[in-house]
Amino acid sequence: MVRTVVVVGIPGVGKTTVLNIAVNELLSKGYVVKVINFGDYMLQELTQRGLVRSRDEIRLLPLKIQREVQEMVAKRIRYEIDSECKLRSESIFFIDTHAVVKTSTGYWSGLPRHVIEHLMPDIVVVIEASVDEILNRQIRDKSRERSDYGDPKLLSDLLIMNRMFAISSATLVGVPVYILYNREGSVREAALELVDVVINRLRV
Ligand code: AP5
């Protein structure tokens, strides 16, 4: 059985960290698992075009370019999932991405119809943490430049927008939304809850 799980969360909430632990857990149980990071594909395409040097510059590009590359990436991911499914009929795909992106012209869907209908997930998982937890993680994570996401009021708004956009996208394809809390110091618990949702609770 193939399961496709879209995982979203605002920058610095801990998506990638939770996913890494969940994947190791699933691999140790014998599952075939792959994480596809939407941002990596966006970065690769935009770097090749000479438009960005880092992932934190992507959201600052003109929306027309982001939209064009967003759709291209969604098609590419669909193609890769389909190709892998031809080789193996039992796999879990996690797509690490965003329900909402803050651009200079407002909040913008990371999973509009032209994306979510290509990804066709079985579930959308929204990873959340408190504003203080996210701010502290951003401060500790020196490898990234998230200064435009460093305002508590903005993060609070973004958490709400993230849920609303995630629900809208899931509604387009008729799949459930699961809210997963990644509490401070409890990343393993969050990862194990994700594993439980994917292998025990998700009926596809
Ligand atoms: P992406 O690669 O997803 O970057 P991001 O949004 O900045 O997300 P991060 O990976 O930095 O944060 P994270 O939540 O994974 O946190 P992490 O695990 O590192 O996307 C890049 C860009 O691509 C986007 O900005 C956007 O422009 C574009 N993009 C992507 N999808 C798109 C789409 N669909 N449409 C259009 N554009 C799209 O954790 C952060 C820190 O917290 C780490 O130091 C970690 O150790 C720590 N931490 C995590 N959990 C805990 C915990 N429980 N307790 C204590 N510390 C913790």
Residue pLDDT, tens place only, 36-49: 999 999 999 999 99
C-alpha–C-alpha distance, residues 129 and 110, integer Å: 19
What is the reported pTM? 0.93
Instruction: For ligand 1, say whether the CB of 11 is within 6 Å of any of its atoms.
Output: yes
Q: Give the C-alpha separation, 188 to 65, whole Å.
A: 37
For residue 146, the one-letter residue type is R
* Residue 125 CB neighbours (<10 A): 27
At residue 174 the predicted structure's pLDDT band, cuts being 50, 70 and 90, is very high
Pairing verdict, β 106-109 and 100-103: antiparallel
Ligand 1 mean position, distance from CA 9 (Å): 7
Tokens of 177: 């939304």
In short, whether 98's Cβ falls inside 6 Å of ligand 1 is yes
pLDDT at 5: 97
86 Cα: distance to centroid of ligand 1 (angstroms):
30
**pLDDT at residue number 146:** 65
For the segment 101-160, what is each residue's pLDDT rounded down to a tens digit?
A: 988 888 999 999 999 999 999 999 999 999 999 998 888 877 776 666 778 999 999 999
pLDDT for res 111? 98
Dist. CA 135–CA 188, nearest whole Å? 20
Provide the pLDDT for residue 178: 97
**Mean of the per-residue pLDDT values for the chain?**
93
User: 2-197 — its CATH code?
Assistant: 3.40.50.300
Distance 31 CA to ligand 1 centre (A): 24
Mean pLDDT score, 173-189: 97
- Indicate which residue's Cα is closest to atom 49 of ligand 1: 14
Mutate to test the pocket of ligand 1, among 67, 77, 98, 194 (most ligand atoms within 8 A of CB): 98
Q: Is the CB of 101 under 6 A from ligand 1?
A: yes
